């Protein structure tokens, strides 16, 4: 049991933890206008509305209602017991992978529990609402803080580390993502383009990129991820 594993996760893995997905039935973007609350343009024009949207999400994430589920814990078990490297690349802005125990997590869309200076880019740990009066105390510019979140119109974070992980993995697993947003939707192609790799999708339903994976298993992540992980650890 060895080899390097990269796991891409999306909103579906956190659904059973009490967090809504973005697209599809009941998805956040069905009831909220992306352009007005989650875009770089909105942050420039109406920061209060953007801060308030992410403040609500942060409050919910840190409430008693939300905790890691069996899928998060299964991935933590995989990192602990697998002989090779296990890297999670998540599109999720929650901290449920870390709370379950994973330590190698790349947050490509940022993190709700961090804030960033709009001038120098310094990143702060952040556990409460971000107020327009919260200013950076590091660069001396008294610049306002913003969520450390990739808004629509901005580039994903940690692209170098992501490319490196994808370029070296033997197994790539996508869990709980509709695979409709780039660059994550194309990660499977980068892995498929190398010889001797295995690509697997675990999702409630086939994603937009399902047909290019070597294998697909469909059902709720909290049910199928623990089974998949047990199989991997048993040598399947």
Total number of residues that touch ligand APR (CB under 6 A): 24
Interface residue with ligand APR, options 177, 199, 213, 232 (CB under 6 A)? 177
Interface residue with ligand APR, options 17, 162, 199, 203 (CB under 6 A)? 203
Interface residue with ligand APR, options 3, 16, 49, 217 (CB under 6 A)? 16
Nearer to ligand APR, 82 or 187 (CB): 187
Nearer to ligand APR, 21 or 113 (CB): 21
Interface residue with ligand APR, options 123, 138, 157, 181 (CB under 6 A)? 181
Stretch that binds ligand APR, among 20-28, 45-53, 123-131, 139-147 (CB under 6 A): 20-28
Task: Report if residue 204 touches ligand APR, rule: CB under 6 A.
Answer: yes
Task: Report if residue 11 touches ligand APR, rule: CB under 6 A.
Answer: yes
Is 109 marked active-site? yes
Task: Report if residue 147 touches ligand APR, rule: CB under 6 A.
Answer: no
Which pairing describes strands 86-90 and 110-117: parallel, antiparallel, or unpaired?
Answer: unpaired
- Interface mask (CB under 6 A) for ligand APR, residues 24-53, using x and -? x--x-x------------------------
Nearer to ligand APR, 88 or 136 (CB): 88
Question: Backbone dihedral region of 121: left (phi > 0), alpha (psi from -120 to 50 degrees) or beta?
Answer: left
Q: Mapped to the 3 state alphabet, what secondary structure does the chain carry?
A: CCCCEEEEECHHHHHHHCCCCCCCCCCHHHHCCHHHHCEHHHHHHCHHHHHHHHHHHHHHHCCCCCCCCHHHHHHHHHHHHCCCCEEEEECCCCCHHHHHCCCCEEECCEEEEEEEECCCCCEEECCCCCCCCCECCCCCCCCEEEEEECCECCCCCCHHHHHHHHHHCCEEEEECCCCCCCCHHHHHHHHHCCCCCEEEEEECCCCCCHHHCCEEEECCHHHHHHHHHHHHHCCC
| The one catalytic residue among 107, 109, 122, 148 | 109
How far apart, in whole angstroms, are the C-alpha atoms of residue 114 and residue 124? Answer: 5
Nearer to ligand APR, 97 or 136 (CB): 97
Task: Please identify every residue annotated as catalytic.
Answer: 109
- Binding interface with ligand APR (CB under 6 A): 10-12, 15-16, 21-24, 27, 29, 91, 109, 176-178, 180-181, 203-205, 207, 220-221
């Amino acid at each position: 049991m060895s080899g390097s594993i990269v796991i891409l996760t999306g909103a579906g893995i956190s659904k059973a933890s009490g967090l809504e997905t973005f697209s599809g039935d009941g998805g956040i973007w069905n009831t909220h206008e992306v352009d007005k609350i989650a875009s770089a343009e909105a942050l420039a024009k109406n920061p209060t509305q953007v801060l308030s949207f992410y403040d609500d999400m942060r409050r919910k994430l840190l409430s008693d209602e939300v905790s890691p589920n069996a899928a998060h814990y299964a991935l933590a078990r995989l990192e602990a017991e697998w002989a090779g490297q296990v890297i999670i690349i998540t599109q999720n802005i929650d901290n449920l992978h870390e709370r379950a125990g994973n330590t190698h997590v790349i947050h490509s869309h940022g993190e709700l529990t961090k804030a960033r200076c709009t001038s120098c880019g310094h990143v702060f740990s952040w556990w409460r609402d971000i107020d327009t009066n919260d200013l950076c105390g590091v660069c001396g510019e008294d610049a306002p803080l913003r969520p450390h979140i990739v808004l629509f119109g901005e580039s994903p974070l940690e692209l170098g580390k992501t490319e490196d992980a994808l370029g070296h993995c033997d197994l790539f697993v996508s869990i709980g993502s509709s695979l409709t947003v780039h660059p994550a939707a194309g990660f499977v192609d980068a892995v498929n383009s190398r010889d001797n790799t295995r690509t697997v999708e675990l999702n409630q339903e086939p994603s937009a990129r399902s047909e290019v994976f070597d294998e697909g298993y469909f059902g709720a992540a909290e049910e199928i991820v623990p089974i998949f992980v047990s199989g991997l650890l048993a040598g399947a």
